[in-house]
Amino acid sequence: MKLFTRPKCFTDAIALNITLHRLLGIRIFEYPHGQPRPILSLIYLLLLYAIHCGAFNLQDEYYADMTLLKLETFLYKILMTINTCSVLIKLILGWWYTKSFEVCYKKISEIDETLRQIGLVINYDIIYFVTIGVMITGLIFTIITSALVSIHLHNRVNLYTSIYMIVAYTYALFVNGIVIFDFYILVKYLQMRFELVNQFLYEHSGVSSTKKRKLGFFEMQDYANIMNCEQRKRLSTKMLSRWRRQTQPQINISVLEKSSTVKSQIQTQFQKELQNQSQRHNPVMTKCEKRKHLLQTIKQVHLELCKMSKTICTILGVQAAFDVAASIMFLTGMFYNLYNRYVVQQDKFVKTLTEQTAVSVILCTLTVVKIIFLSRICKKASDEGNKTIEIIYGIYGCEADIDMRCEIQQFGIQILQSPITFSAFGLSLGNNVISLGLRTVTTYLVIMIQVSNSLESNKAIKLANI
């Protein structure tokens, strides 16, 4: 696919994202195209993970001349361990769920094709440009952060060690960030499709104007002139029985002698009556069946989107939950670090205070933005998916056809029994994640400051250096 060309399917819209996954070792790569190589992909991701872990041994050189607080020393070790485990979990689970992602992409293509068949316009421009925007922003962020870190490391470690540490930590940031972006882009797709379904139902429901209510909720401007096969069978049986009852008293000759004549008469009269009945009833019945068929199609599409939301939470829930927990701990550690630099040890880090502050602020901003975007898109998608029930019950209150009322009632029960929700390993994703994160960071930051003051005032505990 050429860059900045209109994507034809969902996989074209996220082609850059899929390529980056394979470069980072998160997905099974294919070589040649269409031939997955799971064993080689596993070896490749383990090699990248080993290179990433090697950077932690170089931190001893970096912290060799630094005197850290007791709790700060323990905090650095905990954060390094969590970061290492987070990268390994995301690599292994991404490799394991590669086929599940392929099935998910195939289901997306089927849903979009169904929506096209009922006349809806499907485009992927928003998803495509969001993907490109995030990639460009990530590249710019990497360049700026790498420059600041290299300046900070210039006087402490040699050039090659500095480059190695920057590459290793950039790899960890990309792995942690791209999993959340996967969750975001798939939920964004669901939100857009729910909006499209709701807009379709609203425009054809007659809720917006009285004129549409009179014409019908699923007004069809060009409906077919051929009846359904089952209706033809029922009508033909009924017409044939009626004709026989009317013509049987008039037939006084032998069936064996006049079989050919009777047969031709039956066919001729039946065709005439069938044509007359079709002309009188076909438009109304076809319109009703079309309305019912459209509602059944929308109901099935909504059900498939609901199933996909659960699939997304299954294949990405553990990674997302781990990332949210790690982000909360990271924010707590960063704020505690800034507190120590500006309040407790201000005179010891005067030369590097600006670089440390800049890097900490950038990383904290990235973490906060990541959580906010994830929680907001999950909230919007849930609202759009559950909003459908309001529209269909508005239709139910005005619909006169019994079959349509039954379909609408079943649609409402379907939504009530399986509401659209997004969760990450038991953690509900929504606006509550932001409030939960703020409460947790504030609480543990206060506890850590109090514990740190208590430890530093205890002379029986020796100073610990990394």
Reading phi first (left if > 0) and then psi (alpha if -120 to 50, else beta), residue 228 is in beta
Distance CA 367, CA 372 (A): 9
Specify the pTM: 0.77
Give residue 59's pLDDT.
67
3-state DSSP assignment of residue 261: helix
Q: Is 250 exposed, middle or buried (0-12, 13-18, 19+ CB in 10 A)?
A: exposed
How many residues appear in the chain? 466
Task: Compare 127 and 390 and report the one with higher pLDDT.
Answer: 127
Give residue 39's pLDDT.
93
Give residue 277's pLDDT.
46
Amino acid at 71: L
Per-residue burial over 133-159, b = 16 or more CB atoms within 10 Å of its CB, e = otherwise:
ebbeebeebeeebbebbeebbeeebee
Binned at pLDDT 50, 70 and 90, residue 367 comes out as confident
Give residue 186's pLDDT.
94
Query: Averaged over 176-183, what is the pLDDT?
Result: 90
Give residue 103's pLDDT.
92
3-state DSSP assignment of residue 4: coil
State the Rg of the chain over Cα.
33
Q: What angle do CA 257, 263, 267 make, to 5 degrees?
A: 165
Strands annotated E in 16-169: none
Give residue 338's pLDDT.
82
Distance CA 315, CA 311 (A): 6
pLDDT, one tens digit per residue, over 111-126 is: 999 999 888 888 899 9
pLDDT at 172 exceeding the cut of 90? no
Binned at pLDDT 50, 70 and 90, residue 227 comes out as very low
Sign for the CA dihedral angle at 177, 179, 182, 184 comes to: negative
Among the listed ranges 226-230, 261-265, 362-366, 380-384, which one has the minimum average pLDDT value? 226-230
Give residue 257's pLDDT.
45
Distance CA 301, CA 180 (A): 26
Q: Retrieve residue 292's tokens.
A: 């019912």
Phi first, then psi, for residue 463 (nearest 5°) are -65, 140
3-state DSSP assignment of residue 427: strand
Distance CA 28, CA 44 (A): 10
**Residue partners of 334: CB distance under 8 A and separation at least 6:** 360, 363, 364
Q: What angle do CA 205, 210, 211 make, to 5 degrees?
A: 85
CB 124 within 8 Å of CB 192:
no
pLDDT, one tens digit per residue, over 314-364 is: 999 888 888 888 888 888 888 888 887 777 665 555 556 777 787 788 888
